[in-house]
Amino acid sequence: MATSSHNHLLLVVLAQVMLLVIVGTGRVRKVEGAWCVAKSNVSPTQLQTALDYACGAGADCAPITSSGLCFLPNTIQAHASYAFNSYYQRKSNAPGSCDFSSSATIATTDPS
């Protein structure tokens, strides 16, 4: 009888664990990505001003310096997008942290 009782208890515990796993996976939701990128219709001068602001206000711009891993492509559009997104992510995607005087927009597909 001890073995039967032990097996029954084991089955009850396993059933509860399975139920928790099934219920738990139903609650997991996919987090959609959001990236702050430079608008394509903004002048290089305006992008440079916004890039300078982003780098001075908390974006990690070391990777887009000439010796950085993200320097290439060496375009104002690419560098601004990198800096804008760095700033935006550091601000935890806060509303209003991806504007840069109307030089940036939110993208929902990974721009890299």
Q: Is 7 in the same domain as 25?
A: yes
pLDDT of residue 39: 98
pLDDT of residue 112: 82
Tens-place pLDDT, residues 41-78: 999 999 999 999 999 999 999 999 999 999 999 999 99
- Residue 79: count other Cβ atoms within 10 Å of its Cβ: 24
Per the structure, the count of domains in the chain is: 2
Task: Say which residue, 6 or 42, is predicted with more confidence.
Answer: 42
Q: Give the global pTM.
A: 0.71
8 Å CB contact between 105 and 39: yes
8 Å CB contact between 79 and 87: no
Q: Is 42 in the same domain as 93?
A: yes
Domain that holds residue 18: 1-30
Contacts of 39 (CB under 8 A, 6+ apart): 102, 103, 104, 105
